[in-house]
Amino acid sequence: MDVLADLLGGLATALSPQNLLYAFIGCLLGTLIGVLPGIGPVAGVALLIPLTLNLDPTSAIIMLAAIFYGTQYGGTITSVLLNTPGEAASAITTIDGYAMTRKGRAGAALTIAALGSFVGGTIATAGLVVAAKPLGDLGLRIGPPEFFSLMVLGISLLVALAGRSMTKALISGVLGLLIAMVGIDPVAGAPRFTFGSDRLLDGISFVAVIIGLFGLSEILVTARSRSAQVVAPGLRALLPGRDDLRRSAPAIARGTGIGFALGLVPGMTGSVSSLLAYGAERRFGRHRAELGTGAVEGVAGPETANNAHANGALVPLFTLGIPASPTIAVLMGAFLQQGLTPGPTLFAEHADVAWGIIASLFVGNVILLVLNVPLVGLWTSILRIPYPVLTAVILTFMVVGAYTVNFTVFDVFVMVGFGLLGLVLRRLDIPLAPLVLTLVLGPLMERSLRESLELSQGDFTLFLTRPICLVLLVIALVIAASPLLRLRKPAALAEDPEA
């Protein structure tokens, strides 16, 4: 009953005209980012953080969360209409989605995708509601040593699942931690690695780093010159038939289960969920023989899974303070910039904010459903804009985004520097995801390690004498040693730019 009362209180917050407006703007911007080529969800969310800096924390996070799940649907539009996924999680949708477009059924594909995303997102949010309280209570009972061990486990999962090489993923992770070390030491107050510059005392701007690493480097490696040839389906064509709905229902159910379960695991990206959901349709679907030729199940399953994954991935963030993916890490950075620390203490110290945000996820899913189907024409017209023109506009917004966090041109230089670094890392096949995760977790990880060692008066065996720490660290060790043990991982993760 407590949970229900909290959720109703949260709904009252989320349904205030102001927060409804921010959720609406967030869904709109998120879908736009998902549609635009050359800017993925990670850079997109980071780019828009400055827009929320003057808002109150609840409204700011509501808007950023809406941007986050809006990107998931935006990517579908280009997958279905252009055979080009707007973001990695929608890649598998191109197979049957584009085949449906070639059969003149693009409208039905987009509507079923929106419907599946709505169902998957809503059920996953209900899962978050159910899990939030017990997991949050559990989280409150863990001390700095357990928290440190939990972060080691989260990072080891992401590192093990990122890219093709564990060595390169670890290098990326350590670089992120080192970047996080720049600035005033959080415990002793001593400046570190600032080169005597006052501008670095507060650390390197997180937003500028993310925009540079993900957004700018993406533009640097993409030199397209032609715009897309795309035709928007008419409003009547958007309505799926009764047969489409009947056939999609089991695929949506399977996609929800797969997406939500995998969303809980740090390091698993939405691409894996959508790929496995497609695999499930190939194995269990009644019309599996039609997959690949424009079967509606091939759109419904993966699209449901990727939205359920996006909402499921919020569970570890809200309850334990562990971001499960790079985009969630950016969202966590936004929490921290607003003075909120995601995790068990969030429910104790800012219950109204936490439940307001959770309730807004339900509202946002409804907005996405209502907003996106009629606006397909608008999104397709954006796709007709020549890429060089889009690039120029996106670059301008990157400059504005980097500048407005601290109102200094220095951060624009930081963005350019990290854009170049991102280019080098991409060229060398070093994954970017571990860097983002450790950049966000670095200060928290260092603080919990130092607090733990202060508790034990410098005795490192503390981590081996506390059962939860020991279990978490042993699991992390097994994961880290997985290449030696020749454990396999899904190939989708090796190819996933978000991984």
Partner 1 sequence: MSHESALAQPTHPEPAEPAPPSDARLRTGTQAALVALAVYVAVESLSLGLWASFGPGPGFFPFVLAVALGLLGVAWFVQSLRARPATGAPAGERVEAGHAVAVLGSLVVLAAVMDLLGYQLSVFLFLMFHLKWRAGRGWVLSLALALAGSAGVFHGFEQGLMVQLPPSAVPFLAGWGL
- Judged by CB under 8 A, the chain residues 112 through 171 that form the site for partner 1 are 164-165, 167-168, 170-171
Q: Does 429 bind partner 1 (CB under 8 A)?
A: yes
Q: Does 190 bind partner 1 (CB under 8 A)?
A: yes
Sequence length of the chain is 499
Query: Which stretch, 108-116, 137-145, 340-348, 419-427, contacts partner 1 (CB under 8 A)?
Result: 419-427
Cβ proximity to partner 1, 371 vs 395, nearer residue: 395
Q: Does 484 bind partner 1 (CB under 8 A)?
A: no
Q: How many CB atoms lie within 10 A of CB 462?
A: 17
Q: Does 465 bind partner 1 (CB under 8 A)?
A: no
Instruction: Classify the C-alpha dihedral 458-461-465-470 as positive or negative.
Output: positive
- Provide the minimum distance between the beta carbon of 381 and partner 1 in the complex, in angstroms, as a whole number: 16
Distance (Å, whole) CA 364 – CA 307: 12
Distance (Å, whole) CA 376 – CA 414: 37
Q: Which of residues 196-225 bind partner 1 (CB under 8 A)?
A: 216, 219-221, 223
**Which of 226, 236, 242, 486 contacts partner 1 by CB under 8 A?**
486
Q: Does 178 bind partner 1 (CB under 8 A)?
A: yes
Interaction pattern, residues 432-451, with partner 1; x per rule: CB under 8 A = --------------x--xx-
Q: Does 400 bind partner 1 (CB under 8 A)?
A: yes
Q: Which of residues 29-58 bind partner 1 (CB under 8 A)?
A: 50-51, 54
Interaction pattern, residues 77-106, with partner 1; x per rule: CB under 8 A = ---------------x--------------
- Provide the minimum distance between the beta carbon of 441 and partner 1 in the complex, in angstroms, as a whole number: 12
Query: Which stretch, 57-65, 74-82, 337-345, 409-417, contacts partner 1 (CB under 8 A)?
Result: 409-417
Q: Does 4 bind partner 1 (CB under 8 A)?
A: no
Instruction: Classify the C-alpha dihedral 202-203-204-205 as positive or negative.
Output: negative
- Provide the minimum distance between the beta carbon of 373 and partner 1 in the complex, in angstroms, as a whole number: 28
**Which of 143, 250, 257, 490 contacts partner 1 by CB under 8 A?**
490
- Provide the minimum distance between the beta carbon of 471 and partner 1 in the complex, in angstroms, as a whole number: 23
**Which of 112, 177, 305, 314 contacts partner 1 by CB under 8 A?**
177
CB of 358 within 8 A of CB of 364?
Answer: no
Distance (Å, whole) CA 5 – CA 8: 5
Instruction: Classify the C-alpha dihedral 375-377-378-379 as positive or negative.
Output: positive
- Provide the minimum distance between the beta carbon of 268 and partner 1 in the complex, in angstroms, as a whole number: 13
The full DSSP string for 367-409 is HHHHHHTTTHHHHHHHHTS-HHHHHHHHHHHHHHHHHHHHT-T
The full DSSP string for 181-208 is HSEE-TTT--EES-TT-GGGTT-S-HHH
SS3 of 260-317: the string is: HHHHCCCCCCHHHHHHHHHHHHHHHCCCHHHCCCCCCHHHHHHHHHHHHHHHHCHHHH
Q: How many CB atoms lie within 10 A of CB 202?
A: 12
Q: Which of residues 328-357 bind partner 1 (CB under 8 A)?
A: none
Between helices 93-102 and 297-312, what is the axis angle to 10°? 140
Q: Does 481 bind partner 1 (CB under 8 A)?
A: no
Q: Does 283 bind partner 1 (CB under 8 A)?
A: yes
Look up tokens 């429910």; give the residue.
347
Residue 192 bridge partners (DSSP): 183
Name the residue among 357, 341, 319 with its Cα closest to residue 136.
Answer: 319
- Provide the minimum distance between the beta carbon of 306 and partner 1 in the complex, in angstroms, as a whole number: 15
Cβ proximity to partner 1, 1 vs 188, nearer residue: 188
- Provide the minimum distance between the beta carbon of 319 and partner 1 in the complex, in angstroms, as a whole number: 26
